[in-house]
């Protein structure tokens, strides 16, 4: 039995577990889908905006997280080519540019923008990669031909149609509530799951897959919701092997469109750590033994560099009411670089500085080295260095 059926049927058998799984399935209204060649789409209908000559594509995918991060990746596309990446509405009439993806000599490329969509953004549609003004690849669903997993699953969130603003407002929608929702089409066997939470109680929703041209494929009916507005539709083998489709999942109530596939940014962006280390007293270092150091004490310290290239420094138990400065020391010892970031301790010898910008840490750069703290002024000795203290 395919893994998707085992997973869903086990959840249905164990009601308390099912509640947890269903809630988890729907909580994150993110967007995650494979990329498929535009001309390969046949479900619900072929696309009319494809490039006349289609670029190759081995595999690819696009993700929009609940913090608004956008990630697009392709393998085996056209070599040394720049693709314009955009979010296109379900009917194909509206588009929002996301940036450009450039492939290498193997046709591989990646594109990422952290927090591109701001907190509270609700979007719907598909990610499209174009070249020369024509569409090459689109997000959609693809079903394996042999029952073995060959691509990522199609997993968009469900959002209220009335809330969508990106790439533009929708023209027709109802007003049913929705706390969260999720769609999952399994690549290996074409099984479908649709879950809604916090929708209108005692209500059934008709689910369709609709192409930009308006052609639709019926997917089934989400069973009548309970008193809390929760319900799940599960259809084994909804899509036949080798199916390639693209479009929008739409849930309707009495013919009125209520929910559409998309994403919702409902988490504040937290820049990930790029580098982090403890700080130790330079004079306490025993390996190596030839450091030339100052004599300031330190109970505890650390630094962190985030994805924006910003630096944060924390000190506890350093010299009281003292001004320190942060330096970047390249791994090749080519000379310390003053970051211009000052760390001033209080009357207890404690400090917490940052995040602060350093001009040397900019986008699309890779740096190797360490951070050290010295007293402010020229020619000062190292006081605190990156390291570890094993006791």
User: Domain holding 361: CATH number?
Assistant: 2.60.40
Single residue among 264, 295, 330 that ends a domain in this structure: 264
Q: Are residues 323 and 201 in the same domain?
A: no
Residues 255 and 283 in one domain: no
**pLDDT (0 to 100) of residue 27:** 54
Instruction: Evaluate whether 345 touches 320 at the Cβ level (below 8 Å).
Output: yes
Find the mean pLDDT for residues 364-379: 90
Residue 202 domain-assigned? yes
* Pair (95, 169) in one structural domain: yes
Within this chain, do residues 277 and 258 fall inside the same structural domain, yes or no? no
- Given this model, what pLDDT does residue 12 score? 38
Cα four-point dihedral sign 50, 55, 58, 64: negative
* Residues 6+ away with beta carbon under 8 Å from 292: 381, 382
8 A C-beta contact, residue 294 and residue 383: yes
The answer to whether the CB of 280 falls within 8 A of the CB of 288 is no
pLDDT at 309 (0 to 100):
87
Co-location of 292 and 220 in the same domain? no
Average pLDDT over residues 38-42: 98
Rounded CA gap, 20 and 103, in Å?
41
Same domain, 256 and 321: no
Report the range of poorest mean pLDDT among 265-274, 296-305, 369-378: 265-274
Q: What is the pTM of this model?
A: 0.71
Evaluate if residue 92 carries a pLDDT over 90: yes
pLDDT above 50 for 369: yes
For residue 182, which of 21, 7, 14 has the smallest C-alpha distance?
A: 21
Top mean pLDDT of 39-48, 286-295, 306-315 is at 39-48
For residue 284, the enclosing domain spans 273-386
Inside any domain, residue 391: no
259 and 294 both lie in a single domain: no
Cα(26)–Cα(226) distance, rounded to whole angstroms? Answer: 16
* pLDDT classification of 174: cutoffs 50, 70, 90: very high
Mean of the pLDDT values across residues 238-259? Answer: 97
DSSP state of 10: H
pLDDT for 129: 98
Q: Residue 353 falls within a domain, yes or no?
A: yes
- Cα(157)–Cα(181) distance, integer angstroms: 6
Confirm whether 340 is domain-assigned.
yes
- Read off the tokens for 2: 């395919």
Tokens of 25: 């399935």
Residues 256, 282 within the same domain: no
pLDDT digits (tens, 9 = 90+) for 195-206: 999 999 999 999
What pLDDT score does 223 carry? Answer: 97
Q: Is residue 128 part of a domain?
A: yes
pLDDT more than 90, % of the chain? 82
Of 214, 243, 264, the one marking the end of a domain is 264
Q: Contact 178/199 with Cβ under 8 angstroms? A: yes
> Quick one: 260 and 278 in the same domain?
no
What does the alpha-carbon distance between residue 26 and residue 3 come to, in Å, rounded to a whole number? 19
Helices within 129-284 (DSSP H only):
none
Q: Are strands 369-375 and 382-386 parallel, antiparallel or unpaired?
A: antiparallel
**Could you tell me the two tokens for 297?**
């004490």
- Model pLDDT, residue 4: 44
Number of domains, the chain: 2
Q: With bands split at pLDDT 50, 70 and 90, how would you rate the model's confidence at 391? A: low
Whether pLDDT at 357 is above 70: yes
Are 37 and 152 contained in the same domain?
Answer: yes
Distance (Å, whole) CA 84 – CA 95: 12
Q: Give the H or E element holding residue 378.
A: none
Do both 356 and 219 map to the same domain? no
Q: Residues with Cβ < 8 Å from 278, sequence gap 6 or more? A: 300, 301, 302, 386, 387, 388, 389
| Residue 282: strand, helix, or coil | helix
Tell me if 371 is assigned to some domain: yes
> 264, 290, 318: which is the final residue of a domain?
264
Rounded-to-integer distance, Cα 120 and Cα 67, Å: 9
Say whether both 294 and 253 belong to one domain: no
Radius of gyration of the chain (CA): 26
Q: Which of 25-29, 161-165, 172-176 has the lowest mean pLDDT?
A: 25-29
Please choose, from the candidates 281, 4, 10, 45, the residue with its C-alpha nearest in 3D space to the C-alpha of residue 144: 4
In a domain, 86, yes or no: yes
Q: What's the CA gap between 278 and 18, in Å, rounded?
A: 43
pLDDT value, residue 5: 44
* pLDDT, position 275: 84
For 133-161, write each residue's pLDDT tens digit.
999 999 999 999 999 999 999 999 999 99
Q: Compute the average pLDDT of residues 242-253.
A: 98
> Average model confidence (pLDDT) for the chain?
91
CA 24, 26, 30, 33 torsion-angle sign? positive
Residue 12 lies in a domain: yes
């Amino acid at each position: 039995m395919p893994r998707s059926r085992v997973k869903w049927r086990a959840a249905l058998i164990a009601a308390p577990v099912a509640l947890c799984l269903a809630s988890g399935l729907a909580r994150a209204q993110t967007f995650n889908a494979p990329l498929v060649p535009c001309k390969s789409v046949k479900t619900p209908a072929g696309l009319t905006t494809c490039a006349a000559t289609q670029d190759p594509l081995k595999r690819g995918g696009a993700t929009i997280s609940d913090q608004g991060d956008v990630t697009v990746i392709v393998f085996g596309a056209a070599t040394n080519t720049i693709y314009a990446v955009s979010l296109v509405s379900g009917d194909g009439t509206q588009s929002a540019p996301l940036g450009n993806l450039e492939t290498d000599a193997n046709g591989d490329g990646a594109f990422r923008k952290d927090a591109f969509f701001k907190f509270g953004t609700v979007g719907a549609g598909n990610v499209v990669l174009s070249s020369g003004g024509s569409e090459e690849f689109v997000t959609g669903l693809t079903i394996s031909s042999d029952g073995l997993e060959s691509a990522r699953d199609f997993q968009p969130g469900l959002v209220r149609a009335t809330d969508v603003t990106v790439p533009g407002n929708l023209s027709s929608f109802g007003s049913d509530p929705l706390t969260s929702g999720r769609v999952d089409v399994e690549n290996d066997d074409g099984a479908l799951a649709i879950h809604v939470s916090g929708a209108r109680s005692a209500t059934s929703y008709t689910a369709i897959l609709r192409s930009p041209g308006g052609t639709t494929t019926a997917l089934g009916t989400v069973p009548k919701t309970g008193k809390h507005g929760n319900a799940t539709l599960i259809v084994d083998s909804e899509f036949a092997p080798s199916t390639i489709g693209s479009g929008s999942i739409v849930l309707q109530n009495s013919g009125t469109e209520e929910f559409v596939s998309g994403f919702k940014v409902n988490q504040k962006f937290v820049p990930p750590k790029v580098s982090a280390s403890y700080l130790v007293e330079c004079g306490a270092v025993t390996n190596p033994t030839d450091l030339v150091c100052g004599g300031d004490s330190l109970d505890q310290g650390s630094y962190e560099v985030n994805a924006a290239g910003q630096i944060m420094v924390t000190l506890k138990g350093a010299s009281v009411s003292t001004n320190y400065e942060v330096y970047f020391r390249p791994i090749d010892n080519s000379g310390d670089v003053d970051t211009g970031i000052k760390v001033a301790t209080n009357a207890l010898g404690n400090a917490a500085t940052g995040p602060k910008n350093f001009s040397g840490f900019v986008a699309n750069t890779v740096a190797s080295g360490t951070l050290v703290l010295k007293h402010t002024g020229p020619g000062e000795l190292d006081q605190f260095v990156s390291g570890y203290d094993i006791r």
